[in-house]
Amino acid sequence: MPLQIILNLIIALMWMFLSESYNFPSFLTGFIIGAILLFLLRRFIPDAFYLYRVWKVIKLIILFSKELLLSNIEIVKWVYKPGRDYNPGIFALPTDLKSNWEITMLTSLISLTPGTLSVAISDNNDVLYIHAMDIGDKEEAIRAIKDTFEKAIKEVTR
Amino acid sequence: MTESMIEGIFDIIVIVLLIVGTFFIFSATIGVIRFPDIYTRLHASTKAATLGISGILIGAFIFLFVEHEIVSGKLILGIVFVLLTAPVSAHMIGRAAHSSGVEVWTKDGEQRDEYANDKQ
């Protein structure tokens, strides 16, 4: 993957020098040409084509923005509803993610999504403790986090 | 479509983004006052404020781009850093509150706190 990015940048720079115009548009043209070349030659270069992974990152960002919008609407509903018809609590979420980077991403995503807020991580990094606005649908929250976020993060990092 | 119409449409988009952003920040403030304990207040202050600030900054970005043809990278960076730092600070505040013994507010008075159970 680093090899492919460096190759792509070298092709873009070469394109800039060959066309003798040193500005951003010609760099971008060279970058696109390099990406197309790498895509055509993907069977002869080690590792998968790196823009696949970039596409997965973009998908993760779209998923994240959608969840952020939904969580805000939910919070605003709770803010303006008279009375307190929610029942908060802290539940434990066992996670399969290993590295610090992955766990940081997961906690950030959890904190900005509907009704959940990460409070703590166990010492051996395999259980997250999450404060939920409504503990009643705890099973559903665990399933949603496992199915969407963990899967998306694994696709990006592995 | 005439040019003034397109400008009018962009003006409406900017106005809507600014109003929505302000509304979310206002709701976050009311939430901080209304919610019962520190954890629920953190819910309000992190989520609603993040989207509110993003909305206002995107509105400012579009306005600068349409009116003055400035591509302001600082505003986009502002959104990125708010998104990166808000969950981390919320996590740290929540953890600190829990370590210093703040109990979770519940409606029926029964504590549901698996973290406290596991810590013992």
CA distance, residue B4 to nearest chain A CA (Å): 29
Domain containing residue B84: 3-102
Chain B CB contacts of A79 below 8 Å: 27, 30-31, 34-35, 44, 48
Domain assignment present for residue B118? The answer is: no
Domain assignment present for residue B40? The answer is: yes
| pLDDT tens-place string over residues A5-64 | 888 888 888 888 888 888 888 888 888 888 888 888 878 877 777 777 888 888 888 888
Amino acid making up residue B95: R
For chain B, the domain total comes to 1
Domain assignment present for residue B119? The answer is: no
CA distance, residue A121 to nearest chain B CA (Å): 9
Rounded alpha-carbon distances, angstroms, from residue A105 to A66, A144, A152, B104: 16, 16, 11, 25
Domain assignment present for residue B61? The answer is: yes
| pLDDT tens-place string over residues B96-109 | 888 887 777 777 76
The rounded Cα B61 to chain-centroid distance in angstroms is 18
Neighbours of A82 (CB within 10 A): 6
**Which residue is closest to B55 within chain A, CA to CA?**
A69
Domain assignment present for residue B112? The answer is: no
Chain A CB contacts of B47 below 8 Å: 68, 71-72, 75, 112
Computed over its alpha carbons, how large is the radius of gyration of chain B? 20
Domain assignment present for residue B107? The answer is: no
| pLDDT tens-place string over residues A121-152 | 887 878 888 888 777 777 777 887 788 778 88
